[in-house]
Amino acid sequence: MTEVKARLERAVRGKEKILLHGDYDVDGITGVAIMVKTLERLGVTPATFLPERERHGYGVSEEAIHKAQRDGVKLIITVDCGITARDEIQLAREHGMDVIVIDHHRLPAEGLPDTHLILNPLQGDCPYPFKDLSAAGLAFKLSQALLGDEALEFLDLVALSTICDIAPLTGENRILVKNGLEILSKKKNLGLCALSDVAKIKTSKLDTGHVAFILGPRLNAAGRMSSPDTALQLLLTREPREAESLAKILDAENKARQQYEKDVTKEAVQKVERTVNFNRDRVLVVDGKGWHAGVIGIVASRLVEKFYRPAIVISTDEGTGRGSGRSIKGFHLFEALQASGSLLEEFGGHEQAAGLTIKEENISRFREKINSFAAERLAPEALKRHVEVDMELELRELTGTFLDQLELLEPYGIGNPRPVFRSGGLQLRSKARRLYGETYEIVLTDGPLNYQAHLNEKQMLLCAAAGAGSVFEAVYSVKTKQWNGLSTLLLNIKELKEQTGIP
């Protein structure tokens, strides 16, 4: 940190031209936004570059380096990328530019790029005790070193990045996200305030769910469907009308992304069901021509949800494939890609999510190799969904005091999941009604009070077959739903089974 801070301060004093090169997802975008705001406080206006997936691919762009050299840039700062960009950083150094790498991804086996200005706590000689910061979290640490407590107002962006990048909400991340959500709820950032309005978020208290499923997808939509610069501009704007306009653009792009994602997911599921030997293959590797690179990560997540296996979805075009993968508990996806690295052109990521580039001719061998790796590390039992129950209780025990105590455990996320409960003797009081997608709502009771419950299509069919008045045992998590100033208790059903012989 000391050398990085000193080099950046020297650039500021010398009024050097600085380029911030981020990645195209929320972590990269928010990290660049933090650095822009930080440098502007120091009196410097940096140039920015966020790659377009279809045009520039994964990681640091040679095109950006050549442009930086032509523009007289003396310092490049990469955010959420760069740790594997040995060739690109060497090119920048040959052009006389220094490079600061701010990246939280795993270190490459072939060695670090040719720069001593690296912020990555995974380095062997890094004394920083917490290793799971997002890239924007690392940018925030640099901002703190430069600005002191002034940097605390950027914690809303740190919360966005940490949640959307599926970083574990343990240790320091819990503190950053908890405080970041408080700032986010105050809606001090004009762009995020406009995005919340467009997304029709009514509650005054935002939680990890609002970020992960409402704000995050809209910020990601620009990078997935067109240019991530729209999202960056939204986070940086000081003009209310511009904020409103940009928020509407992101909302529209998110709707387009949802429809396209639905179509690709349907095609990918059909390919999996037609071609995968589930007795042999423990990692799903599916490819398709011309699939938009901006949705394949989400499609991989959908495959994991449906089949509960690690999934890698690859879009091919003109002999080259670009892939995105998602994993399950107990399978380190980045290590799996490392083991198959000889077949890949480039790759990066972490335990639960990763990206890659591969020649189309190598996809079949890659599928075999990664499944050989998985066969040694994924026991068949690991491929079975298992919901861990924290406590058995009766629904009537879900009192206000109990829920207040649960709230002390927030924020929930990876590494700190929402508590799960089991209750029996629950009577079905209503037919299921469809809310959206494959999510349905029923009413359950274990006495005088009724409770709304959300469940999936398979569970809905079980209720429909049993009929109103039937009795069930449910495994679920709880949350309160805010609507027009009123709080309603909601049960999110994890498992449901009918209890027979119970009056």
Domain boundary among the residues 128, 150, 172 is at 150
Q: At what angle do helices 240-275 and 190-198 cross, to 10 degrees?
A: 60
Q: 373 and 399 share a domain?
A: no
Distance between first and last Cα of the chain: 66
pLDDT on residue 367: 96
User: Which of 239, 248, 232 shows the shortest CA–CA distance to 199?
Assistant: 248
* Distance of alpha carbon 483 from alpha carbon 50, whole angstroms: 37
Q: Residue 192: inside a domain, yes or no?
A: no
Q: 34 and 69 share a domain?
A: yes
* Distance of alpha carbon 69 from alpha carbon 97, whole angstroms: 8
Domain boundary among the residues 357, 383, 409 is at 383
Q: Residue 287: inside a domain, yes or no?
A: yes
Q: Say which CATH number the domain at 63 has.
A: 3.90.1640.30
Q: Say which CATH number the domain at 299 has.
A: 3.10.310.30
85 φ, ψ (degrees, to nearest 5)? -90, 60
CA quadruple 415, 419, 422, 428: dihedral positive or negative?
negative
Q: 424 and 371 share a domain?
A: no
3-state secondary structure (DSSP) of residue 345? coil
Domain boundary among the residues 333, 354, 383 is at 383
Total domain count, the chain: 3
Q: Residue 352: inside a domain, yes or no?
A: yes
Q: 452 and 346 share a domain?
A: no
Q: 419 and 372 share a domain?
A: no
What's the whole-model pTM score?
0.85
User: Which of 406, 189, 231 shows the shortest CA–CA distance to 180?
Assistant: 189
* Distance of alpha carbon 456 from alpha carbon 436, whole angstroms: 10
Tokens of 210: 């609002």
Q: Residue 311: inside a domain, yes or no?
A: yes
Q: Name the β-bridge partners of 443.
A: 452
Q: 37 and 142 share a domain?
A: yes
Per residue in 100-152, pLDDT tens?
999 998 888 788 999 999 999 999 889 999 999 999 999 999 999 999 999 99
Q: 8 and 115 share a domain?
A: yes
Q: Residue 422: inside a domain, yes or no?
A: yes
Q: Residue 222: inside a domain, yes or no?
A: no
Q: Say which CATH number the domain at 410 has.
A: 2.40.50.460
Q: 19 and 145 share a domain?
A: yes
418 φ, ψ (degrees, to nearest 5)? -60, 135
Q: 312 and 371 share a domain?
A: yes
Question: Which residues of the chain are modeled with pLDDT < 50?
Answer: none
Helix locations, 378-435, DSSP H: 400-407
pLDDT on residue 92: 96
* Distance of alpha carbon 166 from alpha carbon 415, whole angstroms: 10
Q: 396 and 377 share a domain?
A: no
3-state secondary structure (DSSP) of residue 205? coil
DSSP string, 248-267: HHHHHHHHHHHHHHHHHHHH
Q: How far is CA 184 from the centre of its chain?
A: 17
* Distance of alpha carbon 278 from alpha carbon 33, whole angstroms: 44
pLDDT on residue 484: 63
Q: Residue 360: inside a domain, yes or no?
A: yes
Q: 292 and 372 share a domain?
A: yes
Q: Residue 98: inside a domain, yes or no?
A: yes
Per residue in 174-193, pLDDT tens?
999 999 999 999 988 999 99
Q: At what angle do helices 229-236 and 190-198 cross, to 10 degrees?
A: 120
3-state secondary structure (DSSP) of residue 106? coil
Residue 342: which residues within 8 A CB-CB, separation 6 or more? Answer: none
Q: 458 and 377 share a domain?
A: no
Per residue in 17-66, pLDDT tens?
999 999 988 999 999 999 999 999 999 999 999 988 667 666 788 999 99
3-state secondary structure (DSSP) of residue 395? helix
Provide the domain limits for residue 12: 2-150
